[in-house]
Chain A
Amino acid sequence: MAERTITLNIKRQDSPQSASYWQEFEIPYKVDHNVISMLMEIRRNPVTKQGKRVSAPVFHANCLEEVCGACTMVINGRVRQACTALATNLPSPTTLEPMTKFPVIRDLWVDRTSMFESLKRAHSWIPIDGSYDLGAGPRISPDVQQFGYLFSRCMTCGCCLEACPQVNSHSKFMGPAVMGQVYLMSQHPTGKMHEDDRIEGVMGEGGIEDCGNAQNCVEVCPKEIPLTTAIGWVGRKATVKWLRDLFMR
């Protein structure tokens, strides 16, 4: 009886400028395998299904438990974290591709610097006076915390940008994730004091106006962050601010 295997069909690309090509690898099935552990398995003996000795496919991963956001890729046409793509739930062959909305570094590894640049533009931090001891912070209601906490889990994985039709080569749209962070900062009383600054950061070119309400983001977020709530909130705040600025001139 033949040993059960999984075939991975992987889209490879040797460098940012080179053409992509496909390679197939066959891995013995194990009930505990996920896509990353299978990619690690290939590294021990990188031979294609056809028997050609190659360099092992390059991938970006770290925590292996879906809290770091490193291993985002497109698996069977859907963007997701690779570490939680369990072999028990995958068809054979399974296709692995890098995300399309970010420049490829090599194989399945892409460059998501743009997401971190958006966080800079949005001033996504609480401007504390200093890290010296100032005693306790403000009280926060448990309800506010429970909802705000959901947004604090954003690991900048990029799934929402990959799924968003407004993030593409013709647009400068910053994408949904940063909107969630702008909302989060305002759930803390100190953060709320500087809300205007952040709202301004996500207005203008590439800002909130570019959102087309496709609502793909909430469908693909691995942490089920209520992104559309944040986007709606940011949109309303931006409108009010725009009107206020208009009439304040």
Chain B
Amino acid sequence: MPGNHIIVGGGLAGLMTAMKLAEQGEKVDLFSIVPVKRSHSVCAQGGINGAVNTKGEGDSPMIHFDDTVYGGDFLANQPPVKGMCEAAPGIIYLFDRMGVMFNRTPEGLLDFRRFGGTKHHRTAFAGATTGQQLLYALDEQVRRYEVAGLIRKFEGWEMTSLVLDESGDCKGIVAIDNRSLEIRAFPGDTTMIATGGPGLIFGRSTQSLVNTGSAASASYQQGATYANGEFIQVHPTAVPGEDKNRLISESIRGEGGRVWTYRDGKPWYFLEEMYPAYGNLVPRDIATRAIFKVIYDMGLGVDGQPLVYLDVSHIDPAILNAKVAGVLEIYEKFVGQDPRKVPMKIFPAMHYSMGGLWCDYNQQTNIKGLFAGGEADYQYHGANRLGANSLLSCIYAGMVAAPVMIDYAKAHSAPTNGTRIYDQEATRQREEFDKIFKMSGTENAFGLWRELGDIMTANVTVVRENDKLKLTDTKLLELKDRFGRIGLSDTGKWANQEVLFVRQLWNMLELARPITLGALNRNESRGAHYKPEFPERNDPDFLKTTMANWSSDGPRFSWEAVDTSLIPLRARRYDVDTSHAKAKAA
């Protein structure tokens, strides 16, 4: 008997898992708020890493592994990262075989470019819209299995909660149809959360409107451990906007783009000067802090604004068009200037969460039968993610999880106690929505969201100060209180987006607490987590994973040791070269 699996989220991680399951004849119910082809994975621009080593550089998965662990400031458990780097070349080949129009070399081989935090050209790319092409390839394969009757897509459905049995094991989900507002329970032998990051908690970010972290938060509130939530990546180069901060890919720097500002009337290429070994391709946390220092500490923002230049005007437009056209197009369409002629003006933006639902090396969370993958998990990127490793970790998570989900389903197939647990959870969710429909206060959910985003961006992104973190948590509690005084503008029962958003807002407020308090508890600086009061990395006290468990009084924290058995610790510096090769030679 094939298993029946639920996947929540139709991005790269969710679709890869779905394809791997269906390929083995398993049945899959795939849930996505938007048609899966519109998932946030499409926004990924620069490329996917794999040490294919066709550039004559002597690259290898071991070097990729070292670059990743080092880039993550040694916080990631090392064995899964090694597995990911070893699988990477095969993953790239697979997507090539699925038809992704990767850029090619003159000999017709896959082309690779250089990305942040490495000296090797190992990023395969399709223009500068790689996430789009990878997602579309999986979307096509999943459609093939849909036609074959193995995958059912519930697009326009949003998970509200997990269905847990008396032992606390996950037996499915409850979801709501965003048009009819029908609430229904779905049994599943396994469930995977692949819903991406929580960018909307920060208001404006590089993320899409579905990235509220709502499903991860719901799982956390039902007992799933949330790990390393405080590790939030702020991408150095984005275009600030009213509705979102639009990403300008690291691949721009990979193709020779230079970051600069004016100092004493002359262009100052500050990343190149501060970090001679990696220059403009230092990892993102390093670049972001440098930009903050130049703007806020030195007062050198362009025209006195919080902006610096990212310049490709010195690069042959033909090369730019062949390799990064999609990104330049975004700048042109939203700013109205041509980056081929004038330098782009950019500022850092919240971009990615290294933290997420805790899972073991098989992607299974602490709730039996519940899995997590993609940005929604915490496993691969430690304290800072290298560019072009996210597309990789999403796909790898799917490869790892699928066989384990199949085995789990075989061993735990029948749902306990018939339909009672499903009816109970569905009823509970209907009662929650009935409560929302009765809300008639004076607060507006979207206004509260603006306040949430503003304070999280101000206090929980690049620079963390304990006083401000405490203040932030106080504000979160205030927002939770004011949540109770929300009044709906839309009380209709058809396609009511406000009611759905009210629920998402609550989940954002809940998840913001382990993120904020995790940062408060971590009195060191590591990777993307920078606390000037404790400016150094402190391995004896903090080389450990932050684990947060929900309680009605707030997150309960515990810690787990990190597996550093494969690569010995060393200091993380990008001004000089302390890469794997040099470390071995020493």
Contact call B97/A145, Cβ cutoff below 8 A: no
Q: Mark B281-296, 1 if CB is under 8 A from A, else 0.
A: 0000000000000000
Contact call B446/A37, Cβ cutoff below 8 A: no
Q: A94-134: which have CB < 8 Å to B?
A: 105-107, 109, 112, 116, 119-120, 123-128, 130-131, 133-134
Contact call A65/B37, Cβ cutoff below 8 A: no
Q: A129-153: which have CB < 8 Å to B?
A: 130-131, 133-137, 139-142, 145-146, 148-149, 152-153
Q: Check: B208 CB closer than 8 A to any chain A CB.
A: yes
Q: Check: A205 CB closer than 8 A to any chain B CB.
A: no
Q: Check: A53 CB closer than 8 A to any chain B CB.
A: yes
Q: Check: B20 CB closer than 8 A to any chain A CB.
A: yes
Q: Check: B102 CB closer than 8 A to any chain A CB.
A: yes
Which of A32, A63, A105, A135 has a CB less than 8 Å from the CB of B495?
Answer: A105
Contact call A34/B96, Cβ cutoff below 8 A: no
Residues of B within 8 Å of A139, CB to CB, are: 104, 107-109
- Cα distance A66–B243 in the bound complex, in angstroms: 13
Contact call A145/B102, Cβ cutoff below 8 A: yes
Contact call B108/A53, Cβ cutoff below 8 A: no
Contact call B495/A152, Cβ cutoff below 8 A: no
Q: Check: A240 CB closer than 8 A to any chain B CB.
A: no
* A100 CB to nearest B CB, Å: 18
Contact call A136/B93, Cβ cutoff below 8 A: yes
Contact call A63/B333, Cβ cutoff below 8 A: no
Q: Mark B386-397, 1 if CB is under 8 A from A, else 0.
A: 000000000000
Contact call A56/B489, Cβ cutoff below 8 A: yes
* A199 CB to nearest B CB, Å: 17
Contact of A69 with B38 at beta-carbon distance under 8 Å, contacts A56-B489, A142-B106 already known: yes
* A62 CB to nearest B CB, Å: 5
* B122 CB to nearest A CB, Å: 15
Q: Which of these binds chain A: B132-140, B508-516, B541-549, B553-561?
A: B132-140
Q: Check: A75 CB closer than 8 A to any chain B CB.
A: no
Contact of A126 with B242 at beta-carbon distance under 8 Å, contacts A44-B444, A63-B42, A106-B495 already known: no
Residues of A within 8 Å of B103, CB to CB, are: 142, 145, 149
Q: Check: A76 CB closer than 8 A to any chain B CB.
A: no
Residues of B within 8 Å of A137, CB to CB, are: 93, 96-97
Contact of A84 with B42 at beta-carbon distance under 8 Å, contacts A131-B19, A133-B94, A140-B104 already known: no
Contact call B98/A126, Cβ cutoff below 8 A: yes
Q: Which residue of A lies closest to B37 (CB)?
A: A156
Residues of A within 8 Å of B341, CB to CB, are: none
Number of interchain pairs (Cβ within 8 Å): 197
Q: Check: B447 CB closer than 8 A to any chain A CB.
A: yes
Q: Check: B43 CB closer than 8 A to any chain A CB.
A: yes
Q: Which of these binds chain B: A187-195, A212-220, A230-238?
A: A187-195
Q: Check: A36 CB closer than 8 A to any chain B CB.
A: yes
Q: A51-109: which have CB < 8 Å to B?
A: 53-56, 58, 60-70, 83-84, 86, 88, 105-107, 109
Contact call A15/B495, Cβ cutoff below 8 A: yes
Residues of A within 8 Å of B179, CB to CB, are: 105-106
* A74 CB to nearest B CB, Å: 19
Interface residues on B, range: 35 or more
Contact call A55/B498, Cβ cutoff below 8 A: yes
Q: Check: B167 CB closer than 8 A to any chain A CB.
A: no
Which of B38, B242, B247 has a CB less than 8 Å from the CB of A62?
Answer: B38
Q: Which residue of A lies closest to B107 (CB)?
A: A139
Q: Check: B126 CB closer than 8 A to any chain A CB.
A: yes
- Cα distance A134–B172 in the bound complex, in angstroms: 35
Q: B439-488: which have CB < 8 Å to A?
A: 444, 446-447, 450
Q: B334-351: which have CB < 8 Å to A?
A: 334, 336
- Cα distance A30–B241 in the bound complex, in angstroms: 10
Residues of B within 8 Å of A127, CB to CB, are: 144
Contact call A125/B144, Cβ cutoff below 8 A: yes
Q: Check: B246 CB closer than 8 A to any chain A CB.
A: yes
Contact call A188/B34, Cβ cutoff below 8 A: no
Residues of A within 8 Å of B240, CB to CB, are: 32
Q: Which residue of B lies closest to A152 (CB)?
A: B101
Contact call A142/B104, Cβ cutoff below 8 A: yes
Q: Which residue of A lies closest to B108 (CB)?
A: A139
Q: Check: B436 CB closer than 8 A to any chain A CB.
A: no
Residues of B within 8 Å of A105, CB to CB, are: 179, 495
Q: Check: B434 CB closer than 8 A to any chain A CB.
A: no
Contact call A141/B108, Cβ cutoff below 8 A: yes
Contact call B243/A34, Cβ cutoff below 8 A: yes
Contact of A155 with B97 at beta-carbon distance under 8 Å, contacts A33-B242, A142-B104 already known: no
- Cα distance A153–B329 in the bound complex, in angstroms: 13
Q: B19-39: which have CB < 8 Å to A?
A: 19-20, 23, 34-35, 37-39
- Cα distance A45–B108 in the bound complex, in angstroms: 55
Q: Mark A13-37, 1 if CB is under 8 A from B, else 0.
A: 0110000000000000010111011
Residues of A within 8 Å of B246, CB to CB, are: 64-65
Q: Check: B564 CB closer than 8 A to any chain A CB.
A: no
Contact call B322/A146, Cβ cutoff below 8 A: yes
Q: Mark B310-339, 1 if CB is under 8 A from A, else 0.
A: 000000000000100010011001101000
* A3 CB to nearest B CB, Å: 16
Residues of B within 8 Å of A155, CB to CB, are: 37-38, 42, 132
Q: Which residue of B lies closest to A145 (CB)?
A: B104
Q: Which residue of A lies closest to B141 (CB)?
A: A125
Contact call B495/A56, Cβ cutoff below 8 A: no
Q: Check: B585 CB closer than 8 A to any chain A CB.
A: no
Residues of A within 8 Å of B497, CB to CB, are: 56, 58
Which of B104, B326, B444 has a CB less than 8 Å from the CB of A141?
Answer: B104
- Cα distance A223–B522 in the bound complex, in angstroms: 45
Q: When A and B form their complex, which 7 residue pairs have the shortest distance between CB atoms, in order from nearest?
A: A139-B108, A55-B490, A37-B243, A125-B140, A137-B96, A106-B495, A68-B38
Known A-B contacts: A64-B241, A128-B98, A152-B126. Give 15 more (CB < 8 A): A15-B494, A43-B489, A55-B489, A55-B490, A56-B498, A62-B40, A63-B40, A70-B34, A125-B99, A125-B141, A131-B141, A136-B96, A139-B104, A139-B107, A153-B326
Pairs across A and B, CB under 8 Å, 5 listed: A37-B243, A67-B129, A88-B336, A130-B23, A188-B99
Query: Which residues on B are within 8 Å of A, measured CB to CB?
Result: 19-20, 23, 34-35, 37-40, 42-43, 90, 93-94, 96-110, 126-127, 129, 132-133, 136, 140-141, 143-144, 146-147, 179, 208-210, 240-244, 246-247, 322, 326, 329-330, 333-334, 336, 444, 446-447, 450, 489-492, 494-498
